[in-house]
Structure 1
Amino acid sequence: MTEHQEKWLKYILLGICTVLGICIGALFVHYQHGKDAEPKVMEYQDTTDAKVVGKELNVSQGTAKQITDKIYQAQQGETQPTVSYYIQAPDVRAGADQVAADIKSGKANIPAAAAEKTDRTLVTANEEKQKVDVYKINLNKCHKIKAGVMTAGDKTYYGVGYQQGKWEGMIYSRGKKINAGSITYTVAEW
């Protein structure tokens, strides 16, 4: 095998390994997201307790605190519901269970706003007001794995990187050794 063929074989193997790694990561995230995306029925008073919400929704305590703050604002009437609809149920708790089951199974009677795919769905029975609240939660995904290609002059480099929050690091290679690296910080987002 010539040196040129060995070089291309390395690139092909690096590309296959990168694609395989991305596919395995995507399958894991899809599996985990499927479990977490199912509607969770919680007691009304627990929806403003960050520890309970964090455990039930499988999120960090910081994220749980943000979620409970938004739920509290909604419960106080500071934000209005996106949609309201009615169902028949023997009591409010049974109604909450029915709404969660309908969302999970994708029944046609669920309004689009309640059926929307989100990272987490929380359903609770508000017995005082005789209603069921559905909270659709999209999380800030602060961990990201990246792959890319960079050219400099007549050379091509293959890169992999990791991003957490606003910080991102990338390393670039043309073969066995690391040829370049970068660290960036996101200054503005919109």
Structure 2
Amino acid sequence: MEQETKWRIILAIAGACALCIIGGLIYGCGREKKEEPKVLDYQQTTDPATIQKKLDVDQGTAREITREIYHVQQSDAPPGITYYVQAPDVEAGARQVAKDIQAGKPTVPAAAAEKTDRTVVTADTNRQKVDVYKINLRRTHKVKAGIMTADGKTYGGIGYQAGKWEGMIYTRSGRKVDAAAITYTLAEW
């Protein structure tokens, strides 16, 4: 195969990858919306069905969120940030904190104002405080592209990841699959 043909193939694969990335960014930005904080009762944060409905997440994600919130609620660790508001009761305080976060007021601490997928504001009447939970959801579906070299030959590849499983196919000519790989993620941190 000629050198010029090889470079055309590499440029075509790189161009396709760039188009996929640009398309993904445009799609992601178009879908992105300002997520408003949800005010929930303290007891609702331990019910996966309520979390699933109120936060618009799947059942597995709702279970994971309630488990994490439960661990935080049961620990005696001090809060990362303390923020005071004037309110007649704790429930009104929770609503006020949610409004402040939504409005982007400068008095809201950076940790409470940071952009996340979901924000839960909970009034804890027993301890007379308001908890703010910032939740980042995992993106379980990913389209991937890359280049691999083996035995001095360069292969362009494209793949798909669903959860912990990933599949990649590689080609040199763009006409047939020259190699393939399936991997499973054993650990994440």
User: TM-score higher than 0.5 here?
Assistant: yes
State whether residues 47 and 53 of structure 1, in contact with CA within 8 Å, keep that contact through their aligned partners in structure 2.
Answer: yes
Q: TM-score, normalised by structure 2?
A: 0.81
Q: TM-score, normalised by structure 1?
A: 0.80
Count, aligned residues: 187
Describe the superposition over 1:105-142 as per-residue Cα deviations: whole angstroms up to 9, x where unpaired: 33221123222333321112234443221111233433
Please state whether the residue corresponding to 2:178 is helix, strand or coil.
strand
Taking a change above 3 Å as real, the CA distance of residues 130 and 32 of structure 1, as seen in their structure-2 partners, is farther
Matched, 1:167 2:169: no
Out of 126, 143, 146, the position equivalent to 1:145 is 143
Taking the aligned partners of 2:75 and 2:178, their CA distance within structure 1 comes to: 56
Aligned twin of 2:13: 14
Aligned twin of 2:50: 52
State the 1:51 CA deviation.
1.3
Aligned twin of 1:108: 106
Describe the superposition over 1:12-70 as per-residue Cα deviations: whole angstroms up to 9, x where unpaired: 343323222222223333444545x4322223332211112112222221121121122
Aligned twin of 1:39: 37
Aligned twin of 1:133: 131
Taking the aligned partners of 1:127 and 1:99, their CA distance within structure 2 comes to: 15
Taking the aligned partners of 1:11 and 1:77, their CA distance within structure 2 comes to: 54
State the 1:11 CA deviation.
4.0
Gaps of at least 5 residues in structure 2 are none
Taking the aligned partners of 1:46 and 1:99, their CA distance within structure 2 comes to: 18
Describe the superposition over 1:126-173 as per-residue Cα deviations: whole angstroms up to 9, x where unpaired: 344432211112334333222111122342211111223332211112
Describe the superposition over 1:66-87 as per-residue Cα deviations: whole angstroms up to 9, x where unpaired: 2112222333445542222211
Aligned twin of 2:175: 176
Aligned twin of 1:25: 24
Aligned twin of 1:120: 118
Query: How do residues 73-84 of structure 1 correspond to structure 2 at under 5 angstroms?
Result: 73-84=71-82
Q: Is the deviation greater in 61-70 or in 75-84?
A: 75-84
State whether residues 39 and 104 of structure 1, in contact with CA within 8 Å, keep that contact through their aligned partners in structure 2.
Answer: yes
Taking a change above 3 Å as real, the CA distance of residues 142 and 136 of structure 1, as seen in their structure-2 partners, is same
Please state whether the residue corresponding to 1:178 is helix, strand or coil.
coil
